[in-house]
Chain A
């Protein structure tokens, strides 16, 4: 109770700077989201899921200025991959920089432009986000539904021949972007979504993904390498029977990143894998907050999160598997690990399992450790120099997460990015 008043004040302050555009087909969803947000308020450190991550910079009325610089010699990610490019500059779609919105087996429209009623999107926009508010409140996701005017709406109707790439560019030092993407994968359809680049000084993002019966969704995201980024992102996914959802995120640098993934396996024999590899050096705070709900029978879920931390970097993992009554034959797996390269870095992990069915297999593990000195000596005794040996072991540590990327060309690209990052951040 004591916190109610300041919480209301913080929420009011956060909302004061935003303009609420309540028109078009999204109007009811926006109105509901704003009501949700007002009711729950923006988070404080006392909120259970914000104990390890300070929400202050997400709560602040304005974005803190952030340099657009990365590490200097880093190259654009996914450069060599044939993809349909959709470019957002400081959170605003840039038609001139983007490819035409045309690709086989996918209908592409923009949230801002789609003024006419798109039925499928109306049934999705804010819907999964609202479902994902229980039992854990996600105020910034509601904010994303209420206030986003930019984003893509993708309806996937078949096997899309190449990845759809969302490319983010950060130009203005204090840009404050709010994005909301909706993706509907129709029965038996398949798509790969790529996301890359620093979006803005501060990014609030929601992606809702609805995978219908037998649909297949692949998501590979590269966050960074901007150092001063503050990002609070959410993926809400609903996976129907025999559907597949796979999401991988590479995070390099960033003072404040929170990635939430809320996944519901609603049909039988569905699969959801969510993975992350994060590398941070110095002022780095990275939080993966994951919630997987098993409702259908014989579904498989995997959470694989690896963090490499040095020079006082902080990593957070809050991951939950909820197995609902009747979700028999569930196969759940969760691993969260950190490699601490010095004594100053911190890893905070909160693995949770909640199981209401009796015929399930759920395993979870969380470890935190330094580089294995025995392995290091073994490599060096064969002539591998110290730094190269350390990099080899760091990459080995991250391998399980990288292996979650099915597309070999994309996995190789991510691997090279990591190698380059490690070379720049050698001890």
Chain B
């Protein structure tokens, strides 16, 4: 059961491990499949838990059952292998995100600068198309270079990424939103971009800005109703 669960997690398949607490009997339930012999009410309850990504214990016909939702890992894709990214990538890793750093400028995205982090020197739009951000993915652009950041944003805005943030002053952000609008995105789409990026905590150093960004990403995930698109002021 454990090896099977680990394989599902490695393959980024969402799955529920259902455990009958009195007996320790276990079943694995996914959206379309379930272990042989899974009781019907367990499968139904497990898929309910899966749908809202919420682990919990429930009382069913056979007794109390713990439904442990194992969702695919959270991901963060950072465009720009810059100084802030050198702080943000390890911090986000510690917070549970699988981080990929994308920068086509050869000298930036090197494994010496980002030990243990997946780096890509593809163009941001190609990289993002390949990585296919989902509702458990945050996209952060930090290059300050419109031809890199805008290309990434144009792809990210067509995905369900739960967080999109872009480095730049309020003035730069206004210019950016005008450029993005010319690409055919409406106001609601553009409002998804957090810019200036990061919570307003007065961050100045690269590491402080990284903390402000990561805090905003966490807020977007944990308290989505409060995380406004245009409230950040960090950078």
A binds B: no
